[in-house]
Chains A and B, each alone.
Chain A
Amino acid sequence: MYRDTIRTFLKNYISDSINDDQDIFSGGYVNSLFATQLVLFIEENFDLTVESEDLNLDNFKSINAINFFIAAKKDGKR
């Protein structure tokens, strides 16, 4: 649902084309400092707050994971 927005955001930081399941952190596309940009992007664009317990790499590792995370937050499932 949010994949297009996520893809557009990631394109600003990752020049290679990546598929929706590719792990952006362990694949070396971004370093760990990128997490700040990612958290801010999610909070500012989707009007939600990333909490301490959300800081799990599984939530942020790929386009699909981020999409699922945002949807779950929006549904109040997190």
Chain B
Amino acid sequence: MNMQEVQKFVAERIAPAANECDRTEQFPMDLVVELAQQGWLVALADESLGGRNLDLMNFGELFELLGRGCGSVRAMVMLQNMVASLLQRWGNEEQKQKWIPGIAGGQIIAAFALSEPDVGSDALNIKASAVRSANEIKLNGKKTWITLGQIAHLFIVFARLNGKHTAFLVPRESPGLEVFPISSMLGLRAAMLAELRFKDCRIPGENIIGGIGFGLAPVGTLALNIGRYSIAWGCLGMARVCLDIAMRHVLDRQQFGTALKNFQLVQQKIADMIVSINAARYLCEAAATVGSFESRRAMMHILQAKYFATTMVARVTSDAIQLCGALGCRNETLQRLFRDAKVMEIIEGTTQIHQIKIAEFAIHEYKRKGSF
């Protein structure tokens, strides 16, 4: 993929609308067809399926550039890739044929519904339930904070069938499903969040992805790996935008008779921003070299990249505003990125959950082979 063309598309078509979308809390729907035409909605899939057959490095770079443009658009593209990949890997032939072309073409917007009002980090404890009878499945329960929930046509819903974690394909028009918009979020404000309520919601009996009991893993974990990877790279793009704004400001702005760039405390912030962005980049690139989203090594690298990049971007967005002073507080792009950055530390597993998983993995490896 030609990254200069991607950069141009992001700069001309995505970035200019980002602040307006943030203000109005509306996703730029007119972009969906264009994103599909670029092949980005199923970017890992073959070109025959409408994708770009990207390797992990190019896939990451795509999300870095999308991160420069608009967090909500990045999240939308991420979710389509998560769901399409999950179907490609764990769906049966009929499910693949029924749903992937629509996702690729932008006619079907897909969402991922795991979190519940009482269950966030502790995903094993989801309460949503499913009962199968003859040719039908009935779902009950609630899902919340669902990105794209307001506009999605298809939900991947995680619930317990006979107590076992299972992933279901739930079309929006399913009887018994109600969607309630969620507004006024801190960040990713154009991501069209919603709460989903299932009351004896009926779906066809064949709408299970993978087997009963395998919904969270390996079906859900594959999607989460892709999501975390996309977020980590997206943070690089967000941080670069902040660094660019801060750099221009400290070069121009004069105080005490000289440009801000000449103060060593300002230089320290610039140095820290650059080094931490690069450190995050190296972790993202290391994650790109594992070759697949489905190995233990991949998981470990992705967890580290997501953990570090999200904490990095929270710091860098804050530092950029600090360097720009009151003008930083007024700058719509910096404000948006500052708010979006906080959200990055929460979605697809919080910072703390990432720390726990990284440590658990390392402890496990030490116990197993005495090194990590």
Smallest Cβ distance from A40 to chain B, in angstroms? 6
B205 in the interface (beta carbon within 8 A): no
**Does A37 have its Cβ within 8 Å of any Cβ on chain B?**
yes
Q: Chain A: which residue is nearest B93 at the CB level?
A: A52
Docked complex Cα distance between A44 and B298 (Å) = 13
Asked if A55 and B210 sit within 8 Å, CB to CB, the answer is: yes
Give the chain A neighbours of B351 by CB distance below 8 A: none
- Bound Cα distance A53, B211 (Å): 7
Contact A52 B92 (CB under 8 A): yes
Chain B residue numbers with a CB within 8 Å of A25 are 213
Task: Check A34 for interface membership: any CB of B closer than 8 A.
Answer: yes
Instruction: Given A12-B367, A52-B92, check contact A31 B214 (CB 8 Å).
Output: no
Total contacting residues, chain A, CB less than 8 A: 19
Most-contacted residue by chain B among A25, A31, A52 (CB, 10 A):
A52
A33 contacts B368, CB within 8 Å?
no
Residues in chain B near residue A52, CB distance under 8 A = 89-92, 209-211
Q: Is the CB of A31 within 8 A of B296?
A: no
User: Using a CB-CB cutoff of 8 Å, which residues 9-52 of chain A contact chain B?
Assistant: 12, 25, 31-37, 39-40, 43-44, 52
A35 to chain B: which residues have CB within 8 Å? 213-214, 216-218
Q: B294, A40: Cβ atoms under 8 Å? A: yes
CB distance A44 to B124 under 8 Å? no
Residues in B with CB closer than 8 Å to A53 are 92
Contacts of A33 in B (CB 8 A): 124, 216-217, 221
Min CB gap A36→B, angstroms: 4
| Interface size of B in residues (CB-CB distance below 8 Å) | 26
Q: For the complex, is B278 an interface residue (Cβ under 8 Å from A)? A: no
B300 to chain A, nearest CB (A): 12
A40 touches B368 (CB 8 A): no
- Which chain B residues in 330-372 approach chain A with CB under 8 Å? 364, 367-368
Tell me if B296 and A57 are in contact (CB < 8 A): no
Tell me the minimal C-beta distance from B158 to chain A in angstroms: 11
Q: Which residues of A contact B214 (CB under 8 A)?
A: 32, 35, 55, 57
**How far apart are the CA atoms of A39 and B214 in the complex, in Å?**
10
- Does the CB pair B92–A32 fall under 8 Å? no
A32 touches B295 (CB 8 A): no
Please, could you name 19 A-B residue pairs with CB atoms under 8 Å apart, sorted by A?
A: A12-B364, A12-B368, A32-B165, A32-B213, A32-B214, A33-B124, A35-B218, A37-B296, A39-B218, A40-B294, A40-B296, A44-B296, A52-B90, A52-B91, A52-B210, A52-B211, A54-B211, A55-B213, A57-B213
Interface residues in chain B, defined as those with a beta carbon under 8 Å from any beta carbon in chain A: 89-92, 124, 164-165, 209-219, 221, 294-296, 299, 364, 367-368
Given contacts A36-B218, A40-B218, A54-B211, 11 further A-B contacts (CB under 8 A): A32-B217, A33-B221, A34-B217, A36-B217, A36-B299, A37-B296, A52-B91, A52-B210, A52-B211, A56-B211, A57-B212
